[in-house]
Amino acid sequence: MLAFLVGEALRDLRRAGRVAASAILLITLALGALGGFWLLSTNLGRAVGEWRERVKLVVYLRREPSSADAAALVERVRGLPGVASVRFVGKAEALGTLREVLGKDAAVADQLLQNPLPASLEVVPTAGGATPAGAQALIAGLAAMPETEEVGGGVEWIERFARGQRLVTLFGLGLGGVLGVAAILTVTTATTLVLHARRDEMEIMRLVGAPEHIVRLPLLLQGMTQGLLGALLAVWILFSVHLLLAPRLEPLVAESLGLARLTFLTPLNLATLVVIGTLLGGLGGLLARGRATP
């Protein structure tokens, strides 16, 4: 029975001809767009996650405390909510860091009459402290300390980048959704053509007592087959493009985003795309059922 149903579905797919091919192409485009934006969003999310781990807040102090006061201040800041670690940077260390940054121009720093750099605290926030709400509360707490002159750094630019990542995801979902609707309608049209071509055959099957689901199932399988073929083609295209472009883009991505390599979609992501494609095709086949009335 299964072989008969599959055979009927494949024969119906051949009957649909170019319309079926168009449906497969649209499903490929829809899932290719969705998968491409999904891949982009995944790698942007990795970059945001790594940047959050490297976020630092710098608390510039009004004056340089003594060693005992500095140790007490570090312990007090370490106890604030959202703080992962704290390090005290004295004025001399700050000037030494400036010399390292200046490199061959370090002699400029030696000409200073006095060290103009303030002592500071380097505060690394926790994951919760690196979120917009957590960072705002942490910065407010640091700024309220009497020793604080100014709090530098922040996570605003990371959050703006994260919002951009979310916009990329939403745009991909929107584009994939529009193409998906077009694919469903095309599958419905292909299935309807088959319904008209098989209406006499289907009526004979009903007259000899064939159950309605047996009469209809090849049409559903036809739509699901179109969806499955479109999904597999989309996965193959995504993999080929990633294999071709990733090695060429990784040096640029390493410089701009700090990612050593671009990752591909996980097996679960790929399986999800295949399932979505199959369901799109099946839905298109189901929507044509109402037009099969003899």
Residue 284: is its pLDDT beyond 50?
Answer: yes
CATH number at residue 106: 3.30.70.3040
Instruction: State the Cα–Cα distance between residues 59 and 71, nearest whole angstrom.
Output: 15
> Based on the domain organization, do 164 and 47 belong to the same domain?
yes
As a whole-number percent, the residues of the chain with pLDDT over 70 amount to: 70
| pLDDT one-digit tens code per residue, 160-215 | 666 776 777 777 777 777 777 777 777 677 666 656 655 655 556 556 655 555 55
> Based on the domain organization, do 34 and 170 belong to the same domain?
yes
Highest mean pLDDT of the ranges 40-44, 104-108, 126-130, 219-223: 40-44
Q: Which of 124, 154, 184 is the last residue of a domain?
A: 154
Indicate the range of 10-19, 89-98, 146-155 predicted with least confidence: 10-19
Residue 294: is its pLDDT beyond 50?
Answer: no
> Based on the domain organization, do 167 and 146 belong to the same domain?
no
Count of structural domains, the chain: 2
> Based on the domain organization, do 168 and 150 belong to the same domain?
no
> Based on the domain organization, do 18 and 164 belong to the same domain?
yes
Please name the helix (run of DSSP H) or strand (run of DSSP E) that holds residue 73, with its range, or none: helix 67-78
Instruction: Give the pair of three-digit tokens for residue 278.
Output: 């199959």
> Based on the domain organization, do 135 and 174 belong to the same domain?
no
Q: Which of 154, 171, 203 is the last residue of a domain?
A: 154
> Based on the domain organization, do 172 and 143 belong to the same domain?
no
Domain that holds residue 133: 56-154
Residue 230: is its pLDDT beyond 60?
Answer: yes
> Based on the domain organization, do 105 and 245 belong to the same domain?
no
> Based on the domain organization, do 169 and 278 belong to the same domain?
yes
> Based on the domain organization, do 270 and 164 belong to the same domain?
yes
> Based on the domain organization, do 41 and 165 belong to the same domain?
yes
> Based on the domain organization, do 288 and 174 belong to the same domain?
yes
Q: Which of 154, 170, 192 is the last residue of a domain?
A: 154
C-alpha angle 253-51-99 in degrees, rounded to nearest 5: 90
Exposure on the CB side of residue 264, measured as CA atoms within 13 A: 16
Q: Angle at which helices 212-256 and 18-53 pack, to 10 degrees? A: 40
Residue 219: is its pLDDT beyond 50?
Answer: yes
